[in-house]
Structure 1
Amino acid sequence: MDLSDLRIFLAVAREQSVTRAAQALDRVPSNVTTRIRQLEDHLGQALFMREHKRMTLSDAGRRLEDYAQRLLALADEAEQALRAAGPQGRLRLGSMESTAASRLPLPLARLHARWPAVEIQLRTGTTRFLADAVASHALDCAIVAHPSAQPPGARLDEALGAALEGDYLFTEELLLITPPGNAAPRALATFARGCAYRDRAEQWLRDAGEDPARLQMLELGSYHAILACVMAGSAMAVLPRSVLDLQTLTPPSRVIGPAHCFLIRRKGQDSANYQALLSALRD
């Protein structure tokens, strides 16, 4: 199999459309269609289910997706390892939503100024989602939080998986925020399960004698939406102080504890790009 065929396959899988994949790859749609058909003929398997204008992965396509991500990641790592010109090429970085907003802009600007040939592809998600994505080669590295992992020399493998290791970055101060006034909502606005800050909030509630199962969980996709729910009196929430420091209007809050944040990668998969990013994050 040609690596370019795998890149085309992954683009169609991601976009669920030949037309959108062709635009992303700067190719004509007919070329993308031909390459997908040639790949299916080579493998003797239909890789997509075609429903009107939408293309979704078949069972065989889902199996190939994992291999394709790993093969392309290894190819990128090999290319970077053999180049002598320093950090360059693609670096697929994952980050928690709150970290991307409050802590990433300046380090990424420093990285670009020092190493303009490094292309950052950023994806946000929960700690659990990001750790799984790094382990499965869908991401090269990610910034995650784990309240129980203590720096330095944290045993992240016990918390996030045996395939991962990481470097300590910073400690967030987590705050329980509540609506202005005397509102006492029976709801917690939070990211989806797998969020380390949600886990910390639920543990704090249990320690305080409150059963989290008795609260309504409002799962939201951004810290903007979480803050809006709190300010509207609909819920309480747990967010890092670094996010609240960005706001002009802030709700009442109290400290509930720390969360230590790490840049993680697959074990043994250090690279010039990773080290360049780590340096920019620590400066």
Structure 2
Amino acid sequence: MNFSSLEIFCAVATEQSVTRAARHLACVQSNVTMRVQQLEEELQVQLFSRSGKRMSLTPSGRTMLDYAQRLLFLAEEARLAMNPEQQPGRLSIGAMESTAAARLPALLSKYHSRWPLVELEISIGTSRSLVEDVEKGHLDCGFVADSSFLGTRDPRPKFAARGLRATRAYQEDLLLILPPNHPAVSKPAELRLKTLAAFSDGCAYRNVLEQWLGIASLEADGDWQVTELVSYHAILASVAAGSCFALCPRSILNLQRVPMDTCTQKIATIDTYLIAQSDYESNAYKELLQFLQASTYSRPGGIND
């Protein structure tokens, strides 16, 4: 067992595909396949369940992933300890408000405990604005949502066309939030309200809601009214007051200390990606990716859940 094999194993586990892992590692697919097989033979366990081109971790694979990531963390920590001048310096991270509220605190707390000298800067924005800021170099990286309705399309080729590298980070269940006593709905025509609360144009979740409503955009459609708000607290309060409906990630509702008097129903599950320019490299960013991959597989809501 060597660190190169562990890195390949972690890449396949993250990408759930030998092809994507090989692309990410800039090596040939046959080498990735061979190294995974050699690791399985050495450990005498099956690490992946293979279904077509999809590679899913087995229970043994999940256990091994935790050890592999810890070993790689320790190796990188030792390398940097021997070369203090190479320690990570500064990292500017963009995130949607929901990601910053529900996902980043635990991730960045662990990151800071291991790399306290890294200066982290956090900016909040919509997915559209964050993509543009990363593209222009105003941010080192950013957490953005895939607004492909019901996860029917993989947006990574779209990011790649813009010179961006995307790593799957989290899955979010998106819930339709309705006022108290509003009956369940299966289609937009059953909504009793014509006003919805949302973030400004450019929000990926707003795009998902527009797709569910069957309209190109809220501004161009005269049947729906939109109240643009700047926080989920304001959005949820407006829905609870009975004046509108909204779309909200389940992870945000899980943060509420007092249950909201609202009705909810799931209408979509979409992915959140960590994006950076394709040629961007830094120790600080590399460490963030490793921490993200470790936390993704160890917490509900990760990409395998």
- Work out whether the TM-score is over 0.5: yes
| Structure 1 gaps, min length 5 | 1-82
CA–CA separation in structure 2 for the residues paired with 1:160 and 1:245: 33
- In the TM superposition, what are the counterparts of 1:242-253 in structure 2 within 5 Å? 242-247=251-256, 248-250=258-260, 251-253=262-264
Q: Report the aligned-residue RMSD.
A: 2.7
The answer on 1:239 being equivalent to 2:231 is no
- Residues 139 and 150 of structure 1: is their aligned pair in 2 closer, same or farther, counting only changes over 3 Å? farther
C-alpha contact (below 8 Å) 1:157/1:164 kept by paired residues: no
CA–CA separation in structure 2 for the residues paired with 1:192 and 1:161: 25
C-alpha contact (below 8 Å) 2:177/2:245 kept by paired residues: yes
Letter in 2 for 1:214: D
Aligned to 1:225: 234
Instruction: Give runs of ≥4 in structure 1 deviating > 6 Å.
Output: none
CA–CA separation in structure 1 for the residues paired with 2:103 and 2:234: 19
After superposition, give the CA deviation of every residue in 1:64-122 in whole Å (9 maximum; x if it has no partner). xxxxxxxxxxxxxxxxxxx7645422211000001111111000000001111111100
Aligned to 1:139: 139
C-alpha contact (below 8 Å) 1:149/1:159 kept by paired residues: no
| Structure 2 gaps, min length 5 | 1-82, 184-191, 296-305
The answer on 1:277 being equivalent to 2:285 is no
Structure 1, 270-279 or 132-141: larger mean CA deviation: 270-279
Cα distance, 1:280 vs structure 2: 2.1
The answer on 1:256 being equivalent to 2:264 is no
Cα distance, 1:203 vs structure 2: 0.4
C-alpha contact (below 8 Å) 1:157/1:165 kept by paired residues: no
The alignment's TM-score, normalised by the length of structure 1, stands at 0.64
CA–CA separation in structure 2 for the residues paired with 1:139 and 1:160: 17
Aligned to 1:120: 120
Letter in 2 for 1:88: P
Cα distance, 1:221 vs structure 2: 0.8
The alignment's TM-score, normalised by the length of structure 2, stands at 0.60
- Residues 161 and 226 of structure 1: is their aligned pair in 2 closer, same or farther, counting only changes over 3 Å? farther
C-alpha contact (below 8 Å) 1:100/1:124 kept by paired residues: yes
After superposition, give the CA deviation of every residue in 1:25-79 in whole Å (9 maximum; x if it has no partner). xxxxxxxxxxxxxxxxxxxxxxxxxxxxxxxxxxxxxxxxxxxxxxxxxxxxxxx
Letter in 1 for 2:95: S
CA–CA separation in structure 2 for the residues paired with 1:104 and 1:202: 27
CA–CA separation in structure 2 for the residues paired with 1:154 and 1:237: 25
Aligned to 1:203: 211
1:269 alignment partner, SS class:
coil
